[in-house]
Chain A
Amino acid sequence: MKRTIFVVAVIVLAGLLSGTFEAIHPFGVPSDTAMDDYILQHAPRDRSAQNVVTSMVFDFRGFDTLGEAAVLFTALCSIGALFRDGGKQE
């Protein structure tokens, strides 16, 4: 019973996903590239970065990367807190 409901849900989702093939832009031709072209031009000129992706990660979107490092630190703290008691029982 429950499995039948799951299968029906997956089939409905497959229909929805195949419907989106109509709306999406063709592969290899991005629809709006103004921001990326700006970054591709200005990253080596203004910020002297050869690797544009690294320049975005650490320079244009550096605050995002700070949050990413904070997420990693939070996961580490959670794992340490989960296993803190178990590690000392032996």
Chain B
Amino acid sequence: MTDSIVKTLDSVGNAPYFVVALLVLMALTAILTQKNLIKICIAVAILGSSVNLFLVLLGYRDGGSIPIYYLKGAEKGMVLPTPQCLTLTAIVIALATTALMLSLIILIHKHYGTLNIDEIRRLRG
């Protein structure tokens, strides 16, 4: 396990995957340990962003340009367009989800007067 981490850190080529794993772990830790609903919402947004980053990284091709023929540089190949398309869809859906989550948090704050999930559970009885 540690050997693979060391190998990943040695070869700079796979460092983006390591960044993605780090972001996922940070977001999961925040979701599981934080008490504030706003912080949990931010952590969910970070989790979604890290998954989007992972999707885009999967489609990168070495020395590729953007998949637009009108703005293409001197490179030969292009990066894969399918993960970028799926990421575009996922970003909009994450936006809608975040708006709905924040609205529910506003209603919870109006009803209970607090954002601490332990206090909310205790107030509910």
Residues of chain A at the chain B interface (Cβ within 8 Å): 3, 6-7, 9-10, 13-15, 17-19, 21-22, 24, 26-30, 33, 35-36, 39-40, 43-44, 50-53, 56-57, 61, 64-65, 68, 71-72, 74-76, 78-79, 82-83, 86
Q: Do residues A51 and B70 form an inter-chain contact, with CB atoms below 8 A?
A: yes
Q: Which of B5, B82, B96, B104 contacts A82 (CB 8 A)?
A: B104
Contacts A13-B28, A30-B60, A68-B89 known; 14 new A-B pairs at CB < 8 A: A7-B33, A13-B25, A17-B21, A27-B17, A28-B13, A33-B80, A40-B81, A51-B67, A57-B89, A64-B89, A68-B93, A71-B96, A75-B96, A75-B100
Residues of chain B at the chain A interface (Cβ within 8 Å): 1-2, 4-5, 7-8, 13-18, 21, 24-25, 28-29, 32-33, 57-62, 67-70, 78, 80-82, 84-85, 88-89, 92-93, 95-97, 99-100, 103-104, 107, 110
